[in-house]
Amino acid sequence: MSHIWTMIAKRLALGVVTLFVVSLIIFLGTELLPGDFAQEILGQAATPETVAALREQLGLNDPMHVRYANWLGDILQGDLGESLANGQSVSDLIGRRLGNTLALAGYAAAIAVPLSLMLGILAALFRNSVFDRAANASALTSISFPEFFVAYILIFFLAGAGGMFPSMSNFRPDADFADFLYRAFLPALTLTLVVTAHMMRMTRAAIINLLASPYIEMARLKGMSPMRIIVRHALPNALAPIINVIALNLAYLITGVVVVEVVFVYPGLGQLMVDSVAARDMPVVQGVALVFAAAYVLLNLTADVLATLSNPRLVHRR
């Protein structure tokens, strides 16, 4: 098992380097945005003297590399800075919204992962049948549609016309679990329709690739049912690619929620990021982007470890 710990250490080191490069890209990207941050905060009626004083106060007159070094040094100490819009700690703002985003991602994952595995297994079991073709056509259709289009279609049929669910997912902080499930159903369903197709198709492909293996033929000759062959023999050996695609889609559920949260006015990190971009609140934008990058790197590391542990030949090396 020592090689697994070595792999984890290498992946962590690579993740730290990746986050450093991403932090540089995030900082440069926010610096290239048009407009003057101080002018945007003070408004068009501000005098040049007031704008110059605010720029000096915020350190915007310092060279870019100095500001990046100061920002990176504060991050290494656990300080993401303060919001330019309201003076609150960026860590506190992110902390209040992070739980909502994780709850939405968990809600969507609880629906999407079992559904995609079930559809992938059934598509492999009845491959080239009407069900298999219909499932693949539906998957390709859902992949082709952008998230906002799927969201508006669901709003039209389930919120606008039928009125079964609210079109805006703005719930109170003290809302109970049932109220959260009800109000967050449409954004969770939108994310489910987007990510299920990838996981279903990968599950189907991984299982079909193993059905021609000799041990599968031996199981057929023993008289085992096709469903038992797939569940007991093919699926465990196809876990590595399935785990990878599930982890990547879970990362998308956390980092790709920006459009969905904006459409449904969901109080998560995506909505916070869009509001901060509109207000030119760059410390919040940089902090949220860094949290998204860290989540993506962490889930990729988790996928590598789980894929390795699912393969006995990699766990017990000779």
For residue range 281-295, list pLDDT tens digits in order. Answer: 888 888 999 999 888
- Residue 288 is assigned to a structural domain of this protein: yes
Asked if the model's pLDDT at residue 136 lies above 70, the reply is yes
Domain count, the chain: 2
pLDDT in tens, 221-241: 888 888 888 888 788 878 878
- Residue 86 is assigned to a structural domain of this protein: no
Residues 161 and 95 in one domain: yes
pTM, entire model: 0.85
Residues 135 and 278 in one domain: yes
Which of 50, 76, 102 is a domain's end point?
76
Tokens found for residue 115: 């559904």
Which of 76, 109, 124 is a domain's end point?
76
Q: Which residues of 199-232 are buried (b: 16+ CB within 10 A; e: fewer)?
A: bbbbbbbbbbebbeeeebeebeeeeeeeeebbee
Residues 223 and 183 in one domain: yes
Span of 82-96, 133-147, 229-243 with lowest mean pLDDT: 229-243
Per-residue model confidence (pLDDT) at position 186: 92
- Residue 85 is assigned to a structural domain of this protein: no
Cα separation, 238 vs 205, whole angstroms: 9
Per-residue model confidence (pLDDT) at position 58: 73
Residues 190 and 124 in one domain: yes
Contact assessment for residue 201 and residue 136, using Cβ atoms and an 8 Å cutoff: yes
Per-residue model confidence (pLDDT) at position 112: 92
Residues 37 and 102 in one domain: no
Which of 76, 107, 139 is a domain's end point?
76
Residues 185 and 100 in one domain: yes
- Residue 136 is assigned to a structural domain of this protein: yes
Cα separation, 270 vs 239, whole angstroms: 31
Torsion of CA 8, 9, 10, 16, to 10 degrees: 110
Asked if the model's pLDDT at residue 82 lies above 80, the reply is yes
What residue numbers bound the domain in which 62 lies?
2-76
Residues 237 and 101 in one domain: yes
Mean pLDDT value across the chain: 84
Cα separation, 43 vs 274, whole angstroms: 19
Asked if the model's pLDDT at residue 15 lies above 80, the reply is yes
Residues 199 and 59 in one domain: no
Higher pLDDT, 308 or 209: 209
- Residue 17 is assigned to a structural domain of this protein: yes
Residues 119 and 189 in one domain: yes
Q: Which amino acid is at 138?
A: S
Residue 31: which residues within 8 A CB-CB, separation 6 or more?
64
Residue 220: which residues within 8 A CB-CB, separation 6 or more?
229
Contact assessment for residue 273 and residue 289, using Cβ atoms and an 8 Å cutoff: yes
Contact assessment for residue 21 and residue 289, using Cβ atoms and an 8 Å cutoff: no
- Residue 311 is assigned to a structural domain of this protein: yes
Residues 7 and 146 in one domain: no
Contact assessment for residue 79 and residue 91, using Cβ atoms and an 8 Å cutoff: yes
Inter-CA distances, 229 with 16, 60, 153, 218, Å: 42, 65, 39, 10
- Token pair 């490069």 is found at 21
How crowded is the C-beta side of 183, counted as CA atoms within 13 Å?
19
Say how far residue 35 (Cα) sits from the centre of its chain: 30
